[in-house]
């Protein structure tokens, strides 16, 4: 499945690091679908880095910094920062997630249209 979120937009990760594929999928499912992200990603989104390190698998531990920086620089402001904020994002409080998904879809469609136009 092609992600609507372009994780590859970031300059080859941060400090030469790239977010592991399974973590990209978890972030995508959380941000777009509102699915519960699970221990590690939820801890990262809540800025509970001690718990995140405790629950991280080997790949996520290795790229911890890149994941933290991607969330800080790219995740919508209403989607991270505390466990309460995560719950509100999942519940689509005040349509924050819906509005984000709409914007992401628009960008994705425009990018595809431009790509198709160039390839003609």
Long-range contact list for 21-29, CB < 8 A, 24+ apart?
A: 22/59, 23/59, 23/60, 23/63, 23/67, 27/70, 27/71, 27/75, 28/3, 28/4
Among 79, 93, 82, CA closest to 30: 79
pTM for the whole thing?
A: 0.83
Report pLDDT for 118: 72
Enumerate the domain spans of the chain: 9-118
Cα distance between residue 41 and residue 101, in whole Å: 19
Per-residue model confidence as pLDDT tens digits over 54-111: 999 999 999 999 899 999 989 999 999 999 999 999 999 999 999 999 998 898 888 8
Q: What residues have CB less than 8 Å from 7, skipping those under 6 apart?
A: 19, 24, 27, 70
How far from the centroid of its chain's Cα atoms is residue 27's Cα?
Answer: 4
């Amino acid at each position: 499945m092609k992600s609507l979120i372009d994780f590859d937009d970031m300059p080859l990760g941060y400090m030469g690091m790239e977010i592991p594929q399974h973590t990209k999928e978890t972030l995508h499912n959380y941000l777009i679908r509102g699915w519960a992200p699970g221990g590690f990603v939820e801890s990262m989104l809540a800025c509970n880095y001690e718990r995140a390190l405790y629950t991280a698998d080997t790949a996520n531990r290795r790229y911890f910094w890149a994941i933290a920086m991607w969330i800080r620089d790219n995740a919508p402001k209403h989607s991270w920062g505390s466990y309460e904020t995560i719950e509100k994002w999942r519940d689509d409080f005040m349509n924050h997630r819906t509005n984000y998904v709409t914007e992401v879809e628009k960008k994705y469609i425009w990018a595809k249209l431009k790509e198709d136009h160039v390839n003609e």
